[in-house]
């Protein structure tokens, strides 16, 4: 079984190596240069702190030119932690749970 890569806080800002072609969209993301703590909460974070942090992160996502690619990445990989493509951990978890029982519809797919 191949090793799966996990999301690592600060991974979006990792400039040590060139992005692969399928992740090159990272270079154009609005979150580049933002602190990773904005997108990934700490374990001791309270519910109120999480809501405030997520709202701020989602505001960054709203102005992101690659939000659609980021969201698709988060849903298909799947990314289980952090804010990705304008979605929170809870949103992606609910979407995955809902979609398990739904037939795959190709009519709305982007080319």
64 is known to lie in a ligand binding site? yes
Count other Cβ atoms within 10 Å, centred on residue 36: 16
Is residue 70 a known part of a binding site? yes
Mean pLDDT, all residues of the chain: 79
Residue 106 predicted with pLDDT over 50: no
With a CB cutoff of 8 Å and minimum separation 6, the contacts of 41 are 49, 50, 53, 54
Q: Is 97 annotated as a binding residue?
A: no
Q: Which residue has the higher pLDDT, 26 or 83?
A: 83
Residue 56's φ and ψ, nearest 5 degrees, are -65, -45
Q: How many C-alpha atoms does 70 have within 13 Å on its Cβ side?
A: 27
- Average pLDDT for 103-110: 48
- Is 46 labelled as part of a ligand binding site? no
pLDDT of residue 84 exceeding 70 = yes
- Which of these ranges, 16-30, 67-81, 90-104, has the smallest mean pLDDT? 90-104
**Position 26 pLDDT exceeds 50:** yes
Q: Which residue has the higher pLDDT, 48 or 102?
A: 48
């Amino acid at each position: 079984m191949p090793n799966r890569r996990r999301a690592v806080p600060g991974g979006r800002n990792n400039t040590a190596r060139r992005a692969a072609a399928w992740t090159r969209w990272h270079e154009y993301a609005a979150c580049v240069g933002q602190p990773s703590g904005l997108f990934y909460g700490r374990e001791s974070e309270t519910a109120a702190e999480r809501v405030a942090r997520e709202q701020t992160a989602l505001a960054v996502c709203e102005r992101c030119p690659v939000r659609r690619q980021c969201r698709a990445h988060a849903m298909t990989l799947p990314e289980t932690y952090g804010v990705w493509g304008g979605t929170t951990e809870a949103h992606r978890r609910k979407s995955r749970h809902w979609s398990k029982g739904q037939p795959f519809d190709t009519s709305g797919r982007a080319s």
